[in-house]
Structure 1
């Protein structure tokens, strides 16, 4: 039996070509469809627009112009000043010259006595020229009055010495340093104490308070104040 198909009529022979042509045609139509643009017809006519016409707009006034201040008033006319003549006479001050005339006679001036200022100073006992005289040392030579003063001072302390009972009970002992001043009239002033106990200091002040009045010390023949210091020892037996 013979086949019904004609071998020359085989459609599958060029199928690849047909497919490529169709794909290219579809791609072209799709691209044109995407790029296709349409414009709406506008009903506005440019002839109706008159550019030469000016728009009249009312501009609102936002701020009023300030009026300039009035000019200052003219200055007042100066008052007329009456000149009054001064009838009072002014006395002139005459300054006399201090220059001396060669013909003037200068009188001699008597010598002026200048009083020496007396300085109120304290002269220590160790350097004073004339030491204070303790009662009982008046007949001693000046060169021995210093040692006589020391002896009489020690005798006075031994004579009036009394150990405070409260200091004995407490067992307090030590040395009290006493300083006083023999004033220009020979009296004892400015007594100061420094010791280990107030009771001992009080006893030392009592002993110095019983010192007699002395002949004051002298420096260059003038009475001066003489400070003097001495230790008083309190020792328990």
Structure 2
């Protein structure tokens, strides 16, 4: 039995295609409507202004006037009434002092100035102490140091206990050449070992008596410092 409807006249045949096409058109129109932008062609005119660079405003200075402080209160004057002293009988005293016109015999008075014990360092003293044997040398300062080293070499004796313990180093000594040329006030400034310090003290104590140093022509004390090196070969 043949169908009564013509298949070509069926309206539902392409319904899905029409639906998708319509949906696509609707979405396209929606997108265009959302993204549509308009721009104004009439732009406002901007007004330019000239502004001075210096905008510092002068601030007026106000002086605050404060009233002066009140004067201090005046203390009342108190008058003490003191009774008169009773009369006292004066006892005459014999005058034993000479009158101003009487000459007074005054013996010659000797004022002794205290002797100042001043020590002048070797480096700044005017006339350095003279080591025996340097009397005729022109540079007595250099001769003094040369003779000091010679004395140390001739008097030097390494302590046996220090040799056994392999102790060596420098002993810094200080002594004072007195005003009479003798050696005194021997001190150990620094020493790596007691035995080395004792030997250095012995060497300095063997120094001969010298011609004392002078400052302005007056003998003075002269301190002197020297290192003595103890070194094992």
Q: TM-score, normalised by structure 2?
A: 0.54
Unaligned runs of 5+ in 1: 1-89
Q: Secondary structure at the match of 1:180?
A: strand
Which residue number in structure 1 is paired with residue 209 of structure 2? 213
Number of residue-to-residue matches in the alignment:
143
Check if 1:157 corresponds to 2:152. yes
Which of 1 and 2 has greater Rg?
Answer: 1
1:82-138 residue CA offsets vs partner (Å, 9 max, x unmatched) = xxxxxxxx96125699996xxx7999x9x9886554311111111111111100011
1:195-225 residue CA offsets vs partner (Å, 9 max, x unmatched) = 0001111111111111101011111111111
Which residue number in structure 2 is paired with residue 51 of structure 1? none
2:204 & 2:111 partners in 1: Cα distance?
Answer: 41
User: For residues 94 and 162 of structure 1, do their structure 2 counterparts lie closer, same or farther at Cα, with a shift above 3 Å needed?
Assistant: same
RMSD: 2.9
User: For residues 177 and 162 of structure 1, do their structure 2 counterparts lie closer, same or farther at Cα, with a shift above 3 Å needed?
Assistant: same
User: For residues 139 and 106 of structure 1, do their structure 2 counterparts lie closer, same or farther at Cα, with a shift above 3 Å needed?
Assistant: same
Unaligned runs of 5+ in 2: 1-89
2:214 & 2:158 partners in 1: Cα distance?
Answer: 35
Structure whose residues are more often helix by fraction: 1
Check if 1:120 corresponds to 2:117. yes
2:98 & 2:159 partners in 1: Cα distance?
Answer: 80
1:198 & 1:164 partners in 2: Cα distance?
Answer: 10
User: For residues 97 and 177 of structure 1, do their structure 2 counterparts lie closer, same or farther at Cα, with a shift above 3 Å needed?
Assistant: closer
